[in-house]
Structure 1
């Protein structure tokens, strides 16, 4: 079926999309070949920018007819090279950025129907205008797109209360690899009609089809919120405090972030306007937030938690935000510490999960493994305590030659993953597999899991043209 005549293919594509919808000049395509981390592989055959679901379907149909491999792409915020074009220049990037309509908001049903190319921040603002909230919260929410959030089953800061993207999607519209459109845009909170096909697409990283629209689950917009940054002596104390907070604040607890002292320092380096939040430095910090709608006394709730933490020796000191501006400043530490790491150059980024109760033991064991292999490496372990998701990152030794860093960091990653296996953890809690984690993922698949995964891919994409080589190797 595949002719591999790219000239004819591009001519057909140009006729379909026009000048605005098709980019072929390398300069124009430059921003489509790298992600947030700065990773890049190569230049695509072209960049298609369809403006409707029907145009996406026509582009996919053309690709199938000519045997062209496709790379669905959102807001370039991925961290596992899943949406980057291959180095051989034979893949077509299909950008969803022009599919950016808010289709419908139903504040009584607490649902919103959107195009896949809508930026997350735009969706959140649109929900707020109807006194609702779309609770997904990410550092990249000013640029990431809903389709990418769905394709990667995005997590973020509020998973412990609202769940991952999988829990926030009620229905999908998808262009399948053969060009057919599957319309599953149901705004139903309960729907038990057979197989949940939308759940197969969530987290599939564009390998089974291209999400073009979604019905999202909303919740009431919080009327009040309280934020606290607390200093603690140990990771054990952090997890013990989480247990108290989870019970004392019930389902109003929206965020509970573990931050080491080194990240506070990195944040202040990246954002000089930030000042040390407490009089003394502490080994570990917790950034927590509770919010509510209705007559709930959040101040009493947080104060009681802090009192219990101080009495039990779990909390050493703390800062309670007295205004929204102060709360935003406390959250700025969480945002700026990422920029502080990035400024240090190439480093190991991991995205793992373990049972919440196992976090202290894992941090200690993984720390020993890294230190034994690289005594001068700097460990930076932080993450979302409420869902067991840690980013156990490592800065290589400062004196190490640049040419040696990548292999060294890869060796440290394998050592961390080996420790993780002892805790029956996951090598990817929220970032996905893509290309970067494929080898580690495949090494941990059982034969049954591998067979089922290959079967699902073959059923949806028998010709292997949809984002090939991501998650599973190309056939």
Structure 2
């Protein structure tokens, strides 16, 4: 193994092969600090050719490779196991914007580029890169692609997969596939791009991508609405889509308990309403025409919703600061829940039309099985993705409740399956849900996935133990 590491040093330079435990520590622990793995080294290449050289060595010596971007994943997909055999292949030195094409509306970017860096580069070119996540100051484009991340603008722009036109990938054999084609139409066989997106580094290493850009909207408007139920929120969604079309770019649902947690742990963040309501929606319009046009559409939506008693109250942000304040309420929900104590997280999706039924049924089942448990339900209602998190009963010991996580998961995921949904909407499977998914996918589906893994990574060195 010393020969392996020495050859790695020759390939990328000795300073970029990290073996000291203290220096590796930040790469070995997951984002939520639930698990710490072990590795023989953290290796930090700076070019695609260096990535390929390292993967060839790993293939030769049968060393597992764990690709890592910003290490912001939530399902243990970007950290090694406890065997100490793997290397962590950190792509954070590969952070260059290679090209911006404002006519083709594309940007070619390396996998280690921070999402926020890409957003800023697009804005500097007079364009919009619409992917937006809570971790955008830390997560990387490669990680976003590897997990097919979603975020707050999926309703209008789609998941990361829909934002990508081409990839550069280092295969499990250390070969470089250059698929960096900025084409919107390319009907020439199997879509290898889509195969690697969402594969969580189990089939190869994404090193660069061609991403779509969009015109900057002339105006963005944010509103916050209060209502009695998730069913009312769905009616509001239908109204907003009917009156605003593609101008509706964000539609976020959150329960009263979510805002109560935010108020408790971040008292500087105030609810815009004097009274409390069971459910709230934050909606955003991005208009390319004018502020007057956007205001007219938003006013029409809110007026109709109030007249039809779909909502009980609403506020519209009158400034950028007020808009940020409303978004802060939404974005601080996970932080507030973390302050409240340990919790059991779920990243699920069901058909949009059935979200109200899903919440009612699953809430009831959880209360029957775990009396007093508290549901922290929020998420991207416009695309059917809920963060359906479960906190321990008030005054109960967190550790005792967390021990029952498999039971809680079974209730939540069985209910998802009944509603023909998915147990992972945007976070991926990683190691956390690798075995769980086998309960819900058919033998045929799992067999096809294993066949692809065997074909592309026959030595099983690419992020083993993740996804399948």
Q: TM-score category by the smaller chain?
A: over 0.9
Q: Give the match for residue 55 of structure 1.
A: 50
Instruction: Name which of 381, 395, 399 aligns with 2:391.
Output: 395
Deviation at 1:219, TM superposition (A): 0.6
Instruction: Name which of 152, 156, 174 aligns with 2:151.
Output: 156
Q: Is the 8 A contact 2:75 2:431 kept in 1?
A: yes
Q: Which secondary structure does the structure 1 equivalent of 2:38 belong to?
A: coil
- Structure 2 unmatched runs, 5+: none
Q: Is the 8 A contact 2:146 2:197 kept in 1?
A: yes
CA distance in 2, matches of 1:196, 1:57: 22
Does residue 466 (structure 1) correspond to residue 440 (structure 2)? The answer is no
Q: Give the match for residue 255 of structure 2.
A: 260
Q: Give the match for residue 3 of structure 1.
A: none
CA distance in 1, matches of 2:71, 2:263: 26
Instruction: Name which of 163, 166, 173 aligns with 1:171.
Output: 166
C-alpha distance after superposition, 1:155-175 (max 9, x if no partner):
011101100011000000000
CA distance in 2, matches of 1:409, 1:466: 28
Residues 76-225 of structure 1 mapped to structure 2, 5 A cutoff? 76-225=71-220
Deviation at 1:325, TM superposition (A): 1.0
Q: Give the match for residue 302 of structure 1.
A: 298
Q: Give the match for residue 366 of structure 1.
A: 362
CA distance in 1, matches of 2:199, 2:252: 27
Residues 415-430 of structure 1 mapped to structure 2, 5 A cutoff? 415-430=411-426
Instruction: Name which of 322, 339, 350 aligns with 2:318.
Output: 322
CA distance in 2, matches of 1:278, 1:440: 41
How many positions carry a matched residue from both structures?
Answer: 467
C-alpha distance after superposition, 1:201-244 (max 9, x if no partner):
01000000000000001111111010001111111111111110
Q: Which secondary structure does the structure 1 equivalent of 2:355 belong to?
A: helix
Does residue 44 (structure 1) correspond to residue 39 (structure 2)? The answer is yes
Q: Is the 8 A contact 2:392 2:398 kept in 1?
A: no
Q: Is the 8 A contact 2:251 2:282 kept in 1?
A: yes
Comparing 250-259 with 403-412, which one deviates more in the overlay?
Answer: 403-412
Deviation at 1:402, TM superposition (A): 4.4
Q: Which secondary structure does the structure 2 equivalent of 1:113 belong to?
A: strand
Does residue 73 (structure 1) correspond to residue 92 (structure 2)? The answer is no
Does residue 440 (structure 1) correspond to residue 441 (structure 2)? The answer is no
Q: Give the match for residue 336 of structure 2.
A: 340
- Structure 1 unmatched runs, 5+: 1-5
Q: Is the 8 A contact 2:252 2:283 kept in 1?
A: yes
CA distance in 1, matches of 2:436, 2:361: 19
Comparing 288-297 with 252-261, which one deviates more in the overlay?
Answer: 288-297
CA distance in 2, matches of 1:66, 1:422: 45
Q: Give the match for residue 453 of structure 1.
A: 449
